Amino acid sequence: MLKRTFVLAMAAAMVLSACGGDSGGGTLEAVIEPGGETVGFGDFTTSLDKSFGVFVCSRDGAVEIEAVEPGISDGAIEYLGTTVYTSDEMFVGAAHGFPPDGIDEAKLSDVDGAVVEADCSDSGGEKVQLIIGAERTGIGGGVLDDFVITYDGGELEIPFTILLCGDEMEFCEALVPATTTGSG
């Protein structure tokens, strides 16, 4: 099922490439839906920290990741960091805990110095995901957006938005259908 899901995601997704420097290595790409992706949580019954996964791959050779940082941080939210998850069995969309509850921690590695060898043109085999951690730090909630991945060949900005809804729903209004009230 994972292979089929990943193949469909590769076919339907817009692949973003970096226009980085000339390091002689590969080019890092992220598999993101056209127009970017937005994921969020409104349920904080089990934990305040959450994990969000983004698939990455390389073209024309391996790349080494140096850092991952959100370009925008607004509200009562804390960026907890990023770890790399390599697996052919499971993927993380959005999950409770950072790292996610129930994940095989032997397949996690530090993002600083992580080497991405997964070939973007190969839908089989191991997949590499950046697992991004975020924590709601107050009742207002918050947003992390426009993540920048620095690697040995340049930088890659991905339009990936994390919303942790607060009690006031200020940051998550777009995720909640509008309600209408009649007067009468």
Q: Assess if residue 168 is contained within a domain.
A: no
Q: Assess if residue 166 is contained within a domain.
A: no
Q: Residue 127: pLDDT above 60?
A: yes
Quick one: average pLDDT of 98-120?
91
Longest dimension (CA), the chain: 70
Burial 19-51 (b: 16+ CB within 10 A, else e): ebeeeebbbbbbbbeeeebbbbbeebeebbbbb
Residue 55's pLDDT is what?
92
**pTM of the complete model:** 0.79
Q: Determine the structural domain holding residue 32 and report its residue range.
A: 2-36+50-71+78-135+144-161
Q: Assess if residue 173 is contained within a domain.
A: no
Q: What is the share, in percent, of the chain residues with pLDDT greater than 90?
A: 42
Q: Assess if residue 170 is contained within a domain.
A: no
Q: Assess if residue 86 is contained within a domain.
A: yes
Q: Assess if residue 177 is contained within a domain.
A: no
Count the domains in the chain: 1
Residues linked to residue 19 through DSSP beta bridges, in sequence order: none
**Which of 176, 1, 21, 18 minimizes the C-alpha distance to 88?**
1
Higher pLDDT, 180 or 12: 180
Q: Assess if residue 11 is contained within a domain.
A: yes
Q: Assess if residue 44 is contained within a domain.
A: no
Residue 9 — very low, low, confident or very high, per pLDDT cuts 50/70/90? Answer: very low
